[in-house]
């Protein structure tokens, strides 16, 4: 295909069509390969599930929110869990000669 003769509008239209066509063809190729693998497994006396260990779902680790350990006494919206770098408001508090224990919840 000689694209040098296409107009700008035709090139832009072609540019939009290409990703959709690539996706469609990739899905077709995946299905074809899966069918070939299934046929090979069945020819050897197995199912796909037996070979890959069944359709195991990935375990998703859900982390719980970390409890707040420190809160600013005047502005309760300012909190810190005690993990990571100290927030600026904690640094300022300590810079005034105050103690971290005063902020403990």
Instruction: State which residues of the chain have pLDDT below 50.
Output: none
pLDDT tens, position by position, 63-92: 888 899 999 998 889 999 999 999 999 999
- pTM across the whole model: 0.42
Nearest to 81 by CA among 99, 89, 69: 69
Please choose, from the candidates 85, 56, 83, 84, the residue with its C-alpha nearest in 3D space to the C-alpha of residue 68: 83
Cα–Cα distance list, 19 to 16, 26, 65, 89 (Å): 7, 10, 40, 50
């Amino acid at each position: 295909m000689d694209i040098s003769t296409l107009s700008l509008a035709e090139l832009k239209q072609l540019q939009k069509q290409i990703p959709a066509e690539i996706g469609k063809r990739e899905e077709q190729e995946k299905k074809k390969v899966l069918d070939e693998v299934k046929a090979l497994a069945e020819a050897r006396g197995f199912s796909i599930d037996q070979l890959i260990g069944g359709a195991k779902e990935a375990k998703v680790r859900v982390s719980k929110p970390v409890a707040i350990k420190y809160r600013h006494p005047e502005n309760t919206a300012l909190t810190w869990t005690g993990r990571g770098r100290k927030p600026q408001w904690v640094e300022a508090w300590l810079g005034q000669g105050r103690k971290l224990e005063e902020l403990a919840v």
